[in-house]
Amino acid sequence: MRVAHELERAVGMEYYASDSDGTGGRLRESPADFRVTEIEDFDTQPVDADAGDYPWLVVRATLTRWDTNDFARELSNRAGISRERVTWAGTKDRHAVTTQLFAVRDLAPGALPEVPDADVEVVGRAGRGLQFGDLAGNEFRIVVRDPGRPEQADAVTADLEAFAGGAAGVPNFFGQQRFGSKRPVTHEVGLAILRGDWEGAAMAYLGDPTEHEPADSQAARALVEDTRDWRAALDEFPERLRYERTMLHELAGGGSFRDAVETFPSNLRRLFVNAAQSYAFNRILSERVDRGLPFHEPVEGDVVWFAERDAPGGVARPDPGREQRVTVDRVDVVARHCARGRAFVTAPLVGTETEFADGEPGEIERAVLAELDLEPGDFDLPGDWASEGTRRAVLLRPGVDVSHDPLTFEFALPSGSYATVVLREYLKTSPLAL
């Protein structure tokens, strides 16, 4: 298999699934070039339903140049309510045109404020707010600008069909943005936390400058690494690096490295551990590629999840309640289910409840964890640091439709999967261009 870009290898994506040269080009030249629309999976009542029983107003917002968190904050500010009264099911990038649901508690339709660059329509009412997972997936329409060899798209598709044994498929890697696009260190912080290395966690976040970030950030991080003079570093760290500055204030005041790391809000604490899990998952998938094991069908020892019976929007999703371990006498039968989209080969997002696969897949899982000096028990941590773990499908079949003039890709993915892991196969360029 073709070796991946060096920045991708740093986050566990060692290979491409396609050997053909890519099209080249750039994404997100304008927000309209990157359109994302949620495939909704949330029941609502009519807007005139009893607000006492259904206190959440559900709206559908089409946003241009809005990060999901920033839009929620702006909406709540303009409505004069707490930000905690605005919920959503999935976070979207600001360098795009995105359409998604929001739920707002105790807000009348007539009190819905106007927000610049946002087209908001009332959908109905609900008895609870939206939660992560209340969407089946996302549909994408992505335009590539200035591709050097657009004709290569067909060759890549053929490679991906061969890789997935039929309809085009790609490894279900966690994309670069999971780890930090320009400075991929979230998994390094998480791995240090899981090993009980609080100093390593703090320094991974504060130090480790990269050439892809602004010069003033690089200089400030270098100062921290060279001197560990926390007060001097406060004079150097830009105001925009607010989490780093909060950590430095804690350290300058005599706090421990653990104290500094624990200044992060709960969502970031979970992000660090999740990033460590994601990195291990990417490494497991890369090792599966390296050993030549299939992604589209099981081998003896694999753990398979069967598909949800009622997944909306035509997006097949694995059901964690329908698990099967593949024994030698069941390989062919389960392979037929996988070929029909009724089952998925999985790999672990390791946590305290992880049970490894058997056979060669289990050897891979154990070997990767050993290389990272981790074991499931390391995830038994207090509060937001803890994770029971789960499993995740190893293959995506996005159903890519390619058109030209301009080069455009249309496809759909289940929630939690990354459009960039599809586009990286086609462009074969730096992840910073994605």
Output DSSP code: residue 405: T
Residues with Cβ within 8 Å of 393's Cβ and at least 6 positions away in sequence, in order, are 172, 305, 318, 344, 345, 346, 414
What pLDDT digit, counting tens, does each position of 295-312 carry?
Answer: 999 999 999 999 988 766
Domain boundary among 70, 98, 132: 132
Q: Which residue has the tokens 């991080």?
A: 221
Question: How far, in Å, CA of 379 to CA of 279, rounded?
Answer: 15
Q: Is 95 inside any structural domain?
A: yes
Q: Is 337 inside any structural domain?
A: yes
Question: How far, in Å, CA of 229 to CA of 344, rounded?
Answer: 51
Same domain, 273 and 388: yes
Look at strands 34-40 and 97-105 and give their pairing. Answer: parallel
Same domain, 220 and 102: no
pLDDT of residue 21 exceeding 70: yes
- Residues written for the chain: 434
Q: Is 106 inside any structural domain?
A: yes
**What single string gives the DSSP state of each residue in 287-322?**
HHHHTT--SSS--TT-EEEEEPTT-GGG---EEEEE
Same domain, 279 and 192: no
Question: How far, in Å, CA of 311 to CA of 295, rounded?
Answer: 22
Radius of gyration of the chain (CA): 23
Q: Is 3 inside any structural domain?
A: no
Same domain, 274 and 387: yes
Same domain, 302 and 381: yes
409 three-state secondary structure: strand
Q: Is 207 inside any structural domain?
A: yes
pLDDT of residue 423 exceeding 90: yes
Among 105-109, 265-269, 363-367, the least confident range:
265-269
One-letter amino acid of 16: Y
Banded model confidence at residue 253, pLDDT cuts 50, 70, 90:
very high
Residue 352: per-residue pLDDT: 97
Same domain, 47 and 127: yes
Domain boundary among 361, 378, 393: 393
Same domain, 290 and 388: yes
**What single string gives the DSSP state of each residue in 232-244?**
HHHHHS-TT-HHH
Banded model confidence at residue 12, pLDDT cuts 50, 70, 90:
very high
* Residue 117 near residue 128 (C-beta atoms within 8 A): no
Banded model confidence at residue 287, pLDDT cuts 50, 70, 90:
very high
Q: Is 248 inside any structural domain?
A: yes
* Residue 215 near residue 182 (C-beta atoms within 8 A): no
Question: How far, in Å, CA of 88 to CA of 56, rounded?
Answer: 12
10 three-state secondary structure: coil
Region 66-74 average pLDDT = 93
How many structural domains does the chain have? 3
| Active-site annotation holder among 50, 53, 93, 154 | 93
Tell me the β-bridge partners of 57: 104, 125
249 three-state secondary structure: helix
Residue 102: per-residue pLDDT: 97
208 is catalytic: no
Domain CATH code at residue 219: 1.10.1510.30
Q: Could you give the angle at the alpha carbon of 349 between the alpha carbons of 190 and 322, nearest 5°? A: 160
Question: How far, in Å, CA of 248 to CA of 239, rounded?
Answer: 12
Q: Is 422 inside any structural domain?
A: no
Same domain, 273 and 242: no
Domain CATH code at residue 274: 3.30.2350.20
Same domain, 306 and 317: yes
Domain boundary among 243, 264, 285: 264
Share of the chain above pLDDT 70, in %: 99
What pLDDT digit, counting tens, does each position of 172-209 carry?
Answer: 999 998 998 789 999 999 999 999 999 999 999 999 99
Residue 371: per-residue pLDDT: 97
Q: Which residue has the tokens 């939690």?
A: 416
For the chain, give the longest Cα–Cα distance: 66
Average pLDDT, the chain: 95
Same domain, 286 and 244: no
What pLDDT digit, counting tens, does each position of 142-159 carry?
Answer: 999 999 999 999 999 999
Residue 226: per-residue pLDDT: 96
Same domain, 193 and 277: no
Domain CATH code at residue 123: 3.30.70.3160
Checking 314-320 for CB contacts under 8 A at 24+ apart, the result is 314/412, 315/39, 315/136, 315/137, 315/412, 315/413, 315/414, 316/341, 316/344, 316/397, 316/414, 317/136, 317/137, 317/414, 317/415, 318/343, 318/344, 318/346, 318/391, 318/392, 318/393, 320/390, 320/391
Same domain, 351 and 367: yes
* Residue 40 near residue 160 (C-beta atoms within 8 A): no
What residue numbers bound the domain in which 77 lies?
42-132
pTM beyond 0.75: yes
One-letter amino acid of 358: D
Question: How far, in Å, CA of 405 to CA of 167, rounded?
Answer: 24
Q: Is 58 inside any structural domain?
A: yes
Region 80-99 average pLDDT = 93
pLDDT of residue 323 exceeding 90: yes
Question: How far, in Å, CA of 224 to CA of 44, rounded?
Answer: 51
